[in-house]
A and B are shown apart, each in its own frame.
Chain A
Amino acid sequence: MYPRSFEYVSPGSLDEATSVLASTEGAKVLAGGMSLLPLMKLRLFSPDVLVDIGRIPGLSSIEDRGDHLAIGAMVSHAATASDPSIAEHAAALATAASWTGDVQVRNQGTTCGSIAHADIAADQPSAALALGATMVAASAGGVREIAASDFFVDTLTTALEPGEILTETRIPKQGGASAYEKLGRRGGHTDYAVAGAAVWLDVSDGAVSSARVALTGVGAKPTLAEGVVEALVGTDGSGAAIAEASERALEGVTVLDDLFGTVEYKAHLAKVMTRRALQQAVAAAT
């Protein structure tokens, strides 16, 4: 099915792209298009203008900048999933990217696009949240950094303003270890998550010294599970400590049901996925 008619612009530079966005009512950024184009084909969304950032130089690389990794706006899920530095410093994101969509979607869709789209069942937003990522947004007015904890506002809603482009996602090189676990809608890890959990933690002197846990698919947005962190930090990270902490995954979280699970089922899954991801991260960190 064809989308509704729109005007298409393919800027050659970031400055040109932000100036088009600033001066054009109803313009929308197109990167890989794996979320945007299906919405447009179903006519759930019909922007007047598409600004294709796919031909802007310098947005397609993953850079090691010493204290962080920078994932450019056009880096595909497949590239994120197979990058050695992401595997080393952001295993949760590498795993989440490798379980996003299917082969063809991973070849064309982008990590930053998934984060900017902020589908509640998408894997990489919660991985970015658990890893303490920073999003870099460019507009005609300049560049600003947004912490992941401030970035996800609501379902399909982020802190990005209409004239802004998410140009890169920065993952701190913070030591410790991270992991991601999910149950996909088609079983195993395939398709969107029914529920999932991303965790990052650090261990020193035999105790969990700090941690972040973020849930996929259960609330209205990728959500930090503060109760788990409170229960886990200071423990030895044993199976018993993890099991007890995982029980607190839904403290302060309003679980929403959908076609793929009831509130009870998703709540149960969130705890199971949290436990599994914590076990992996503790094993990797020690």
Chain B
Amino acid sequence: MHVSLTVNGQRAVTDVEPRTLLVHLLREELGLTGTHVGCDTSYCGACTVILDGKTVKSCTMLAVQAQGAEVTTIEGLAANGDLHPVQEGFWERHGLQCGFCTPGMIMSAVGLLSENGSPSEDEIRHGLEGNLCRCTGYHNIVRAVEYAAAKMRGEEPPAPEWEEASA
């Protein structure tokens, strides 16, 4: 079936089988392999993308359901070579270990911060409830989102905990 959608600001037109999942269209048709497939049960959130302004699990959506939609993937966040503040936060605060869940975590964090610019730690943890980190690296993921939230508010991010500990 014919599908046309906008991915990271670029129009994409392709033919897919009805059973093609959005994540497979992104990865296999468009070569955007930053969006990961982590599970087959819709639990892990590694495939999270932003579709018409809302985070969705692209492994649990048919490509044909995204007909006409605007999709943002992890590849669409950095602009002109500058990392998105959430990407920068994950870099600066060691928000990843193996990195497999990271694209989904980042997209969910972007979605969270678009609705709540000053989330508490509790709100961050609940906002990321649909994303699993198999390394259990949640602690620094929360710090990374706090860093990004401060940056996006134009504030100085909190100092890293390892500096506080050695001070």
Contact = CB atoms under 8 A, between A and B. Distances in A.
Contacts of A54: 65
A37 B40 CA distance: 10
Secondary structure dominating the interface of B? mixed
Interface stretch (B18-26, B79-87, B135-143): B18-26
B45 A104 contact: yes
Given A2-B20, A5-B19, A42-B40, A33 B65 contact: yes
A108 B60 contact: yes
Given A103-B55, A103-B111, A8 B41 contact: no
Interface string A20-37: 000000000010011001
Contact of B57 (A3, A7, A52, A108): A108
Determine the interface band of chain B, counting residues with CB < 8 A from chain A: 20 to 34
B157 interface: no
A102 B19 contact: no
Nearest to A184: B129
Interface residues of A, number: 28
A190 B129 contact: yes
A285 interface: no
Contact of B130 (A4, A5, A38, A101): A101
Interface string A48-86: 001010100000000000000000000000100000000
B112 A103 contact: yes
Interface in A4-25: 4-8, 10
B41 A38 contact: yes
Nearest to B64: A8
Contacts of B40: 1, 38, 41-42
B48 interface: yes
Given A2-B21, A38-B60, A103-B129, 9 more contacts: A6-B18, A8-B18, A8-B62, A34-B42, A102-B130, A103-B130, A108-B60, A108-B61, A190-B126
Which 10 pairs from chain A and chain B are nearest by CB?
A102-B130, A8-B18, A107-B54, A104-B130, A102-B129, A1-B40, A104-B57, A38-B42, A108-B56, A3-B19
